Amino acid sequence: MKSLREYLAWAEEKQVAIGHFNVSDSEGFKAVTESAQELAVPVIIGVSEKERSFLGVAEIKVLVQAKKDQGEPIFLNADHTYSVEASKEAIDAHFDSVIIDGAEKPFFENVTMTKEVVNYARAKHPDMLVEGELGFIGSGSMFRDEIPEGVSEKTQTTPEDAKRFINETLVDLFAPSVGNIHGLVRSGEPKLNIQRIKDLAKVVTIPMVLHGASGNTDEEVLEAINAGIRIVHINTELRVAYKKGIEKGLSSDELAPYKFMAEGVAEMKKIVTAKLKLFNKL
Ligand SMILES: [Zn+2]
């Protein structure tokens, strides 16, 4: 089976993006993997620090490995990891990739912690990919009344900083701030800065990752992919769909969890399938 690195080269060649969806439990895992299998496309399962503490690091690793053993291109990413220690835990567990998120820290500190994680990964599992983040985009996949504090056009990643960050850290994947925001902004999602993505793509030679794509329009996301984005993250929209689905499931007298939870899975699958079609241009 092709590795995540090889699939990213494939995505570059096809000018598509690989979908990254966060899950908190086996229902989320079922929804994401079934959707990807039905469309026969690769997919990345994302688990943030809190999501993996709920699921268990070893447990989610086993679930993903079971799919790999069946020949499915399902990959596992340790999403937003805020400490070197927690990154090392994901590296020890041999995930496919890990995101060390020092975006809220000063440039130098971000570089230092990112480098430490890159060095550890190279020594322990050289096939693992490390993603670095530069430019704060808010944290938490939730509803927001407004754009989070500290996020503005001024804090968007510049090509100069991107180049310097990548050269100094030697990360494999790069997540910039380009008008994207974690969570769904009730007062209206800001627009993605497509020109900035194009400018970054001129100097960034590693795959770029778009976080916080929930709430952005299909047209914008497609433009971002055409401008050079190779992984797109979706979390909040999936959480909204899941909650809506299980509320429907629980409103009947149904007692079997595999029946009332199935409503949640079905709602999540609608979102995942639509996003995967968009990202893969199907
Ligand atoms: Zn993110």
CATH of the domain at 31: 3.20.20.70
d(C-alpha 139, C-alpha 156), whole Å: 15
Which of the two residues, 111 and 153, has the higher pLDDT score? 111
Per-residue model confidence (pLDDT) at position 99: 98
CA end-to-end distance (rounded Å), the chain: 22
Going by pLDDT thresholds of 50, 70 and 90, the confidence category of residue 180 is: very high
Per-residue model confidence (pLDDT) at position 73: 98
**Pairing outcome for strands 229-234 and 18-22:** parallel
Q: How many angstroms does the Cα of residue 193 sit away from the middle of ligand 1?
A: 17
- Contact (CB, 8 A) for 75 and 97: yes
Q: Which domain does 228 fall in, by range?
A: 4-279
Per-residue model confidence (pLDDT) at position 142: 81
Q: Is 92 annotated as a binding residue?
A: no
Q: Is 182 annotated as a binding residue?
A: yes
Q: Is 80 annotated as a binding residue?
A: yes
Q: How many angstroms does the Cα of residue 79 sit away from the middle of ligand 1?
A: 7
Q: How many angstroms does the Cα of residue 215 sit away from the middle of ligand 1?
A: 13
Give the HSE-up count for residue 227: Cα atoms under 13 Å, Cβ half-sphere.
20
| Residues linked to residue 184 through DSSP beta bridges, in sequence order | 143
Cα–Cα distance list, 45 to 65, 131, 192, 265 (Å):
12, 15, 24, 15
Number of domains in the chain: 1
pLDDT digits (tens, 9 = 90+) for 182-240: 888 888 888 999 999 999 999 999 999 999 988 899 999 999 999 999 999 999 999 99
pLDDT digits (tens, 9 = 90+) for 12-71: 999 999 999 999 999 999 999 999 999 999 999 999 999 999 999 999 999 999 999 999
Q: Which of 7-11, 62-66, 135-139, 246-250 has the lowest mean pLDDT?
A: 135-139
d(C-alpha 159, C-alpha 165), whole Å: 10
Annotated catalytic residue within 69, 79, 172, 218: 79
Name the residue among 129, 152, 112 with its Cα closest to residue 209: 129
Q: Is 199 annotated as a binding residue?
A: no
> What pTM value is reported for the model?
0.96
φ and ψ at 133, to 5 degrees?
-125, 135
Contacts by residues 147-151 (CB-CB < 8 Å, ≥ 24 positions apart): 147/181, 147/185, 147/190, 148/181, 148/182, 148/183, 150/104, 151/177, 151/181
Per-residue model confidence (pLDDT) at position 139: 79
Rg of the chain in Å (alpha carbons): 18
79 classed as catalytic = yes
Q: How many angstroms does the Cα of residue 152 sit away from the middle of ligand 1?
A: 17
pLDDT digits (tens, 9 = 90+) for 133-174: 999 888 778 888 878 777 777 889 999 999 999 999 999 999
